[in-house]
Amino acid sequence: MLVKLSEIDVKRTTITTLAPIRTSETAPPRWRATNVEAFKVSDGNLASQGGVFADDDGKVKAIWMSFSIENDRRDQSSILGGLPARLVAPIVNKIKANESPVVKGLDVEFWTLQISNARLLGVSNAWIEKLKEKSQYPCVLYILGITDVSSLSGGLLKPGDIVLSINDKILTNISDLVNFSEHDQLAMVRD
């Protein structure tokens, strides 16, 4: 990790959770992280500008980085988290192979919803059991907002929709969205 005067700092820490980065709309509008989960560490925030998390064999597991947010007083601020390397590796590999990467996505902003709340919003017991089988800590993906109303997904989906699977692959966290686009088949609950 880089600290202070670009000195390399090596620390041993433990990744504790993978949690969504929660950002809100900003005034004036500017880029913000949406549909992103980041690793948190056992010893709080590491005092650094950035770096990598690596396992004992030196394999990079996450990129430690800063995410821009707006705090409660509407001041620009930032939080730190580890972006999973598996999300970045396909793009880096394409670039290394001198190929143009293709970045897919849905033009909607997702948030996670606890299973108990999903049940209240109409998710069936059969789906809840499928979610529990796939993940030790399951949640459902709830559409908070549309980021591009002119896109296909922006026209078909609406805030409040709960997306349960894409192409028959059950979703239990935001990182499951990485390789899907608006041309895939979704299973969802709509009020």
**pLDDT 10s digits, 83-109:** 888 888 888 899 999 999 887 778 888
Phi and psi angles of residue 63, each rounded to the nearest 5 degrees, phi first: -105, 120
Q: Is the pLDDT of residue 3 over 60?
A: no
Residue 66 confidence (pLDDT) above 70? yes
How large is the average pLDDT for residues 31-39? 79
Q: What is the pLDDT of residue 50?
A: 73
Structure tokens at 150: 């002119």
Q: Which CATH number fits domain 108-189: 1.10.10, 2.30.42, 3.30.70, 3.30.1370?
A: 2.30.42
* Chain Cα centroid distance, residue 133: 21
C-beta separation of 107 from 153 below 8 A: yes
- Block residue for tokens 């896109």: 151
Half-sphere CA count of 97, side-chain side, radius 13 A: 9
Instruction: Please give the torsion angle defined by the CA atoms of residues 73, 76, 78 and 84, in that order, rounded to the nearest 10 degrees.
Output: 110
pTM exceeding the 0.85 threshold for the entire prediction: no
> pLDDT per residue over 103-129, tens digit each?
777 888 898 888 999 999 999 999 999
What pLDDT score does 102 carry? 81
pLDDT of residue 190: 79
Q: Tokens at residue 176, please?
A: 């499951």
Per-residue pLDDT at 40: 81
Q: What is the pLDDT of residue 89?
A: 87
**pLDDT at residue 1 tops 70:** no
User: Is pLDDT at 53 greater than 90 in this prediction?
Assistant: no
**Length of the chain, please?**
191
On the question of pLDDT at 34 being above 90, the answer is no
Q: How far apart are CA 182 and CA 175, in angstroms?
A: 16
Instruction: Kindly report, residue by residue over 151-186, the tens digit of the pLDDT.
Output: 888 888 999 999 998 888 898 888 888 767 666 777
Nearest Cα to Cα of residue 37 among 102, 94, 88: 88
Contacts of 136 (CB under 8 A, 6+ apart): none
Q: Where are the domains of the chain?
A: 2-96, 108-189
